[in-house]
A = this chain, B = another copy of it.
Amino acid sequence: MDVTVLGSGSAFPGPLRGASALALRLQQGEIWLFDCGEGTQTQLMKSSLRAGKITKIFISHLHGDHVYGLPGLLCTLSLNCNAPPGQQGQCVEIFGPVGLRLYLRVALRVCSSELLFPFTVHELEPTGDQSPPTGLLDPTLTACCPQLHPQERPGRTLRPDPESDCYSLLEDERIVVKAFRLFHRVPSFGFSVQERERPGRLRVELLKQLGLKPGPVFGRLKMGESVTLEDGRVLGPVEVLEPAVRGRKVCVLGDCSGLVGDGGRRACKGADLLVHEATLEDGMQEKAAERGHSTPSMAVAVAQDCSAHTLLLTHFSQRYKPAGGPGEGRDDVLELKRQAELALRGTDTCVVLAEDFLTLPVPLQKHREPQNPA
């Protein structure tokens, strides 16, 4: 499992920083994309990732620098779709705020973009407190939504669960994905991808010492059952299994000046990796908040609240040139890192600065337990 930054810049795709996009590669090689600013498909081509492995796309909010690359990406995925002739490629699932379906449908249909695979758009319905009133979509706009694209399968409309204050996006035997609410100029969301805990490996050598031979009993023990041996002894999973492998958790937050409600704090608790924006430096906190954005210290506060292991800062104003690059100067992005490190002093959380094409592994951490908030 690793994440690759495809665009670390805010506002527009610049020559030094692409517009927002981040790829999460799962163990099976499958890729989940978070945001898709203009130029993301070209960034993918420049990276070592295979765009054809993208199966799910999560859009945090409907600002152009996070979504204007989506129609073109789907077209190019289709050009490279290697489904056998006469067959369809795999369905691509897309999650994002209400309005995304209209945007995508019109962009693809007006441009006669035929796709060789089906897709579906699941829309998250924001609550009224995720933006100023000016950020709410005009209901007459979404009311005029045209017919489905020929390859579009009807999607769900998702609302937050009152109990957890989270949106339940996906849940299977491997993974649970939730969305939670953020505050921005338009409604914004964060996503948490939580691997399920995996049972520890069977202590085969111990079992052999106890005189057991590989067979159905091994299978039952592996599944966590207790087993009564011929001599009456009872063997339980605690004795014969190595410690369970804690599932990893990766959380990717869209643009925000803060969380809304309690969903984000819960969903991100103990995150191995928390991706948070830091558009402007601490000295510009007022300006940042006014625009619905964060500074390094604001990002650190969220990371500490969730006891995140690693904080990946991204979405930098294009004024901050990449470190070591041709445009490096006084406004260097490293200052943002120093501010985050200062705010994190005395904690276990470490901070990493996003750069385009940076790949960050998310290693398995068998014994790590969620920390208590500082």
Contacts and interface: CB of A to CB of B under 8 A. Distances in A.
Interface of A: 11-15, 19, 38-39, 41-42, 45-46, 62-65, 67-69, 71-72, 75-76, 79, 99-100, 102-103, 106-107, 109-113, 134-135, 137-138, 140-141, 144-147, 185-186
Contacts of A68: 38, 68, 71-72, 107, 111
B141 A146 contact: yes
A63 B112 contact: yes
Nearest to A99: B110
A62 B110 contact: yes
Contact of A112 (B76, B110, B135): B135
B72 A13 contact: yes
Contacts of A112: 62-63, 134-135, 137, 185-186
Given A79-B11, A110-B103, A144 B145 contact: yes
Given A62-B111, A106-B107, 4 more contacts: A13-B41, A64-B71, A67-B111, A138-B147
Contact of A12 (B41, B65, B146): B41
A187 to B, nearest CB: 10
A71 B137 CA distance: 18
Contacts of A145: 144
Contact of A147 (B71, B111, B140): B140
Contacts of A146: 140-141, 144
Given A103-B110, A185-B112, A42 B14 contact: yes
Scoring A14, A65, A100, A110 by chain B CB atoms within 10 A of each residue's CB, the highest score goes to: A110
A99 B110 CA distance: 6
9 contacts: A13-B41, A13-B72, A38-B41, A64-B72, A64-B75, A106-B141, A112-B185, A140-B146, A144-B144
A113 to B, nearest CB: 6
Contacts of A12: 41-42, 72, 75-76, 79
Contacts of A65: 72, 75
Contacts of A11: 76, 79
Contacts of A71: 64, 68
B39 A42 contact: yes
